[in-house]
Chain A
Amino acid sequence: MSSLKNVTDATFDQEVLSSGKTVLVDFWAEWCGPCRAVGPILEQIALENSDKIEIVKLNVDDNPQTAAKYQITSIPAMKVYQGGEVVKSVIGAKPKPALESELAAFLA
């Protein structure tokens, strides 16, 4: 089981958009192999950068409204939110160093 918090259609506003923190949402699904592969990497990044960024997961099957609102057409999709706005999108499973360099601005 993932150690990351799950957000839903119902909690997205409160947990992500209204959060005072920088929040990365991992849009994923059970049947997506690359999503399962990148999950543990996100857990590590969350652990190592807990003071800078919060990482949460959103299951696109269970929460179609949010997935549709953000026009998710490819998963895993990782979107970084600040003040309710998407400030960065990363698509596809990537090795840890590649993800860290994509997210460098939020991990510094």
Chain B
Amino acid sequence: MRQMIIIGSGPAGFTAAIYAARAELAPLVIASSVEIGGELMNTTEVENFPGFADGIMGPELMERMQAQAERFGAEIVYDDVTEVDLSGDVKRVTIGAGKDAKVEEALSVIVATGSAYRKLALPDEDRLSGYGVSWCATCDGAFFRKQEIAVVGGGDSAMEEANFLTRFADKVYLIHRRDSFRASKIMQQRTFDNPKIEVLWNSEVAALHGETQLSSLTLRDTASNAERELTVTGLFVAIGNDPRVHLFHNQLDLTPEGTIAVDGRSSRTNRAGVFAAGDVIDPTYRQAVTAAASGTVAALDAEHYLASLPEDLLLQATGHVDEGTAPAAGSTLDADGELVGQP
């Protein structure tokens, strides 16, 4: 058994791992099999992470965070959590599925599972995903050289994708439901200044068309409900994210926004020994820096919690049994948590 398991490998997970590893809690980070490093792995330049005055590429930032966590002894496993049992003092986390499944036990768990891209919820979306409809401009943008494409969304991610895509595409339509963006001023300005981007305000995507590849969209005017066709070969969806909580239904309390509920400014969930950090608790800010800070809070809360546990439980996790004080076989705990030898 371990002292700590961290589920997730974005800025929250790795920062929690850095703090926990420095506190000699030897955390196990379950980093996922195909999304190691989290959302920043699909971004390009990160310009707002303090300390990197000239910016840093998202993947490089995450590789550095991982190296920092490993330097202090965090153990990292590249697999997916398929089940959790958070009820007892000893938490059980199942990694992998089928014949390869393995259960890890720990006294504390930090949930830093982040969020997943939101879909448009249109009938042909799944069919055309990968055939013109994409959630990853950095992965797929280069296939749309000299074409006319669209981005849907109004936040920083949408602006960043639209600007990035103009490296390849001749024209990028930016489709947004409202008449103003919620993106940061600097990203809005870059978008307005980019001659290849045309903003389509008060518009939503009503339908996707195409046999084997996306060929056009139906747009609906959000004010008049009037519909029109837009011929594009690519559509990049950046309409937000939903917290990844599917593993925790019926075990952890959620907020009305669907994030994991935590106590005040802490990372404490409704289960003792279970802490949550990063985008999975944050419906509002969702920045690399706020996620990292949140990971710090979780590591410190968990450290505090572990320090409060009875010694025999901790010994099971640390394995540091001091022979001189090890309880005799048959010893039990009394009501005050003191060891009592059997007569």
A contact residues vs B (CB 8 Å cutoff): 29, 31-35, 37-38, 40-41, 60-61, 67, 71-75, 77, 89, 91-97
* In the bound complex, CA of A71 to CA of B80 (Å): 31
Q: Which of A35, A67, A95 contacts B33 (CB 8 A)?
A: A95
Q: Which residue of A lies closest to B133 (CB)?
A: A74
Q: Do the beta carbons of B143 and A37 come within 8 Å of each other?
A: no
Q: Do the beta carbons of B134 and A95 come within 8 Å of each other?
A: no
- In this complex, the member of A31, A38, A97 whose beta carbon has the largest number of chain B beta carbons within 10 angstroms is A97
Q: Do the beta carbons of B140 and A97 come within 8 Å of each other?
A: no
Is B97 interfacial (CB 8 A cutoff)? yes
Give chain B residues whose Cβ lies under 8 Å from the Cβ of A73. 130-132, 134, 140, 143-144, 213, 233-234
Q: Do the beta carbons of B132 and A37 come within 8 Å of each other?
A: no
Can you sample 29 A-B contacts with CB below 8 Å?
A31-B138, A34-B41, A34-B42, A34-B139, A37-B36, A37-B41, A38-B34, A71-B131, A71-B212, A71-B213, A72-B143, A73-B130, A73-B131, A73-B132, A73-B143, A73-B213, A73-B233, A73-B234, A74-B134, A74-B140, A75-B143, A77-B130, A89-B130, A92-B130, A93-B34, A95-B32, A95-B34, A96-B33, A96-B100
Is B129 interfacial (CB 8 A cutoff)? yes
Question: Which residues of B in the span 140-158 have a Cβ within 8 Å of any Cβ on A?
Answer: 140, 142-144
Q: Which residue of B lies closest to A100 (CB)?
A: B98
* In the bound complex, CA of A96 to CA of B234 (Å): 28
Q: Do the beta carbons of A91 and B34 come within 8 Å of each other?
A: no
0/1 interface trace, chain B 33-46, chain A, CB 8 Å (1 if under): 11111000110000
- In this complex, the member of A29, A60, A73 whose beta carbon has the largest number of chain B beta carbons within 10 angstroms is A73
* In the bound complex, CA of A41 to CA of B36 (Å): 13
Q: Which of B34, B130, B134 contacts A41 (CB 8 A)?
A: B34
* In the bound complex, CA of A22 to CA of B81 (Å): 32
* In the bound complex, CA of A77 to CA of B130 (Å): 8
Q: Which residue of A lies closest to B145 (CB)?
A: A64
Q: Do the beta carbons of B34 and A75 come within 8 Å of each other?
A: no
Apart from A32-B138, A74-B129, A74-B139, what are 20 other A-B pairs with CB-CB below 8 Å? Answer: A33-B138, A34-B34, A34-B42, A35-B139, A37-B34, A37-B35, A37-B41, A38-B34, A41-B33, A71-B213, A73-B134, A73-B140, A73-B213, A74-B131, A74-B143, A75-B143, A91-B130, A96-B33, A97-B98, A97-B100
**Minimum CB–CB distance for B94 against chain A, Å:** 12
Question: Which residues of B in the span 1-41 have a Cβ within 8 Å of any Cβ on A?
Answer: 32-37, 41
Is B254 interfacial (CB 8 A cutoff)? no
Nearest 9 CB-CB pairs, A to B?
A91-B130, A93-B34, A74-B130, A33-B41, A37-B34, A95-B33, A73-B143, A97-B97, A74-B140
Give chain A residues whose Cβ lies under 8 Å from the Cβ of B36. 37
Q: Which residue of A lies closest to B58 (CB)?
A: A33
Is B243 interfacial (CB 8 A cutoff)? no
Give chain B residues whose Cβ lies under 8 Å from the Cβ of A67. 143
Give chain B residues whose Cβ lies under 8 Å from the Cβ of A75. 139-140, 143
* In the bound complex, CA of A96 to CA of B233 (Å): 31
**Minimum CB–CB distance for B161 against chain A, Å:** 14
* In the bound complex, CA of A60 to CA of B37 (Å): 24
Give chain A residues whose Cβ lies under 8 Å from the Cβ of B300. none
* In the bound complex, CA of A57 to CA of B34 (Å): 17
- In this complex, the member of B41, B80, B98, B131 whose beta carbon has the largest number of chain A beta carbons within 10 angstroms is B131
Q: Which residue of A lies closest to B36 (CB)?
A: A37
* In the bound complex, CA of A61 to CA of B97 (Å): 35
**Minimum CB–CB distance for B215 against chain A, Å:** 12
**Minimum CB–CB distance for B2 against chain A, Å:** 23
* In the bound complex, CA of A76 to CA of B91 (Å): 35
Q: A74-B134, A93-B34 are in contact. Are A32 and B139 (CB under 8 A)?
A: yes
Is B136 interfacial (CB 8 A cutoff)? yes
* In the bound complex, CA of A89 to CA of B213 (Å): 14
**Minimum CB–CB distance for B214 against chain A, Å:** 8
* In the bound complex, CA of A74 to CA of B134 (Å): 7
Q: Do the beta carbons of A95 and B213 come within 8 Å of each other?
A: no
Q: Which of B42, B79, B129, B134 contacts A33 (CB 8 A)?
A: B42
